[in-house]
Amino acid sequence: MAVRVPKGYLVSGVHCGLKRDLRKPDLTLIVSEANAAGAGVYTQNLVCAAPVQLDRQRTPSDRIRVVVVNSGNANACTGERGLEDAREMARLAARAARVEEDQVLVMSTGVIGAYLPMDKIAHGIELAAARLGNDEEALILAARGMMTTDTVYKLAGRTISLTRREVQITGMVKGAAMMGPNLATMLGVVFTDAALDSQTAQRILREVVDDTFNCINVDGHMSTNDTVLLLANGASGGPPLSGGLLDEFTRELHELCGELARMIPADGEGATHLVIIEVEGCRSRDDALKIARSIANSPLVKAAVHGADPNWGRIISAAGYAGVAFDPACVELYINGHLLYRGGAPVDFDDAEVSASIRAEKDTHVKLIFSEGNASGRFWTTDLTPEYVRLNADYRT
């Protein structure tokens, strides 16, 4: 099975009272038996949570040993006390795993503006340390410990052979809303038994995140807590990857992160559709992504998908205000393979047929082909449903 705990790691997920439901894990521990290269990519929000501030100082690093995560409370907008709480959370995990405090990275997700209940956190870390394991059950509990409004846990993995060495890469993510441009609101940990030096780990994580987790959204609201961590402990043996082996590893990491990224809008709050927006024929990838993101951020486009309405006018007009120059008379627009617009004017299409195709499938494919160049980009988002609004009108109650 490709989804398993890589060599040299132990994981657990436990319930410590941060969530009301006793059956739901709310604290996750990932421990590497040896020093791991640790890299991180974080929210660009100026208002960032305490754990983000802490981890930013600690990555990249050559000697990460522990990641501790809690759900139910974001430890965001909590000022100095919040930062002290994040540090204390790291200290508690360090003590439990018998490592140094600065070898621990922290992630939190949940409600903004409430202080962490440190007694529960302390108890949770103790419990989690006692239940560390490397089997599938431990891995699933760890993934569940990160969940907030997610309806499913999100795990993926790859086993690859690099010059007869078997390398495992496994990732877990959480996220279902407050998903913005530039790192959707999410937490993610990818951990591998490959050997990487920390600068390389940081560089490839940055590249891969830009192309995967930064190409999804649910509601365009950038969170205070977005974090993706990469740990590489080298337990599969050998020197740090470089050259062709590093390229191969990076390709697999890219694929894995793409798979994990898509799981998030697919589980978007209240969503009934995963919308895949492909933009081709642009001058640059950046242009293509700007257009795709502008479409993905339009509530009118998203509501139309929910209503199975092939409303291409909303799509083309959202492209028009993306801030990218293009000739509106040289654009083709397809929904689920049906041509709806070409040459600046509508084409004759069977509205009912396209509508039925949207209704029939969970995935809706939107494709725009411009005539400006050869660059392309892809973005994943959700539809917008009355259920999303209901969920977010009383998230805290």
- Catalytic residue annotation: 185
| Number of other CB atoms surrounding residue 28 within 10 Å | 28
Tokens 């959204």 belong to which residue? 217
Stretch that binds a second copy, among 17-25, 90-98, 112-120, 249-257 (CB under 8 A): 112-120
Q: How open is the CA angle 188-191-194, to the nearest 5 degrees? A: 150
Of residues 323-342, which lie at the interface with a second copy (CB under 8 A)?
325-326, 328-329, 341
Q: Is 319 in the site for a second copy (CB under 8 A)?
A: yes
Q: Is 44 in the site for a second copy (CB under 8 A)?
A: yes
Q: Between 141 and 187, whose beta carbon lies closer to a second copy?
A: 187
Q: Between 78 and 200, whose beta carbon lies closer to a second copy?
A: 78
| Number of other CB atoms surrounding residue 271 within 10 Å | 24
Quick one: DSSP state of residue 164?
A: T
Q: In whole angstroms, how close is the CB of 19 to a second copy at the nearest point?
A: 18
Q: Is 53 in the site for a second copy (CB under 8 A)?
A: no
From residue 76 to residue 105, what is the string marking binding to a second copy with x (rule CB under 8 A)? xxxxxxx-----------------------
Q: Is 371 in the site for a second copy (CB under 8 A)?
A: no
Whether the link from the prior residue into 239 is cis, omega within 30° of 0, is: no
Single residue of 147, 194, 271, 318 touching a second copy by CB under 8 A: 318
How far is 80 from 360, CA to CA, in rounded Å? 51
Q: Is 117 in the site for a second copy (CB under 8 A)?
A: no
Q: In whole angstroms, how close is the CB of 52 to a second copy at the nearest point?
A: 11
Q: In whole angstroms, how close is the CB of 277 to a second copy at the nearest point?
A: 15
Q: Between 2 and 329, whose beta carbon lies closer to a second copy?
A: 329
Tokens of 276: 């895949």
Single residue of 88, 126, 259, 309 touching a second copy by CB under 8 A: 309
Tokens 């259920």 belong to which residue? 387
Ordered strands of the 332-335 beta sheet? 345-346, 338-342, 332-335, 363-369, 274-282, 375-382
Single residue of 199, 300, 350, 361 touching a second copy by CB under 8 A: 300
Q: Under a CB-based contact definition with an 8 Å cutoff, are residues 89 and 125 in contact? A: yes
From residue 250 to residue 289, what is the string marking binding to a second copy with x (rule CB under 8 A)? ----------------------------------------
Q: Between 238 and 386, whose beta carbon lies closer to a second copy?
A: 386
Pick the closest to residue 234 from 197, 190, 276 (CA basis): 197
Q: 302: Cβ–Cβ under 8 A, 6 or more apart, which residues?
A: 275, 296, 381, 382, 383, 384
How far is 10 from 8, CA to CA, in rounded Å? 7
Q: Is 201 in the site for a second copy (CB under 8 A)?
A: no
CB-count burial class (<10 Å; 0-12, 13-18, 19+) for 298: buried
Pick the closest to residue 223 from 185, 187, 261, 188 (CA basis): 185
Single residue of 70, 109, 149, 298 touching a second copy by CB under 8 A: 298
Q: Is 353 in the site for a second copy (CB under 8 A)?
A: no
Distance, C-alpha 187 to centroid of its chain: 6
Q: In whole angstroms, how close is the CB of 31 to a second copy at the nearest point?
A: 31
Stretch that binds a second copy, among 15-23, 46-54, 118-126, 248-256 (CB under 8 A): 46-54
The DSSP secondary structure of 256-278, one letter per residue, reads: HHHHHHHHHHHT-TT---EEEEE
Stretch that binds a second copy, among 34-42, 73-81, 86-94, 157-165 (CB under 8 A): 73-81
Report the interface residues with a second copy, using CB under 8 A. Answer: 44-48, 74, 76-82, 111-114, 177-178, 180, 182, 219-224, 297-301, 303-304, 306-307, 309, 311-314, 316-321, 325-326, 328-329, 341, 343-346, 384-390, 392-397
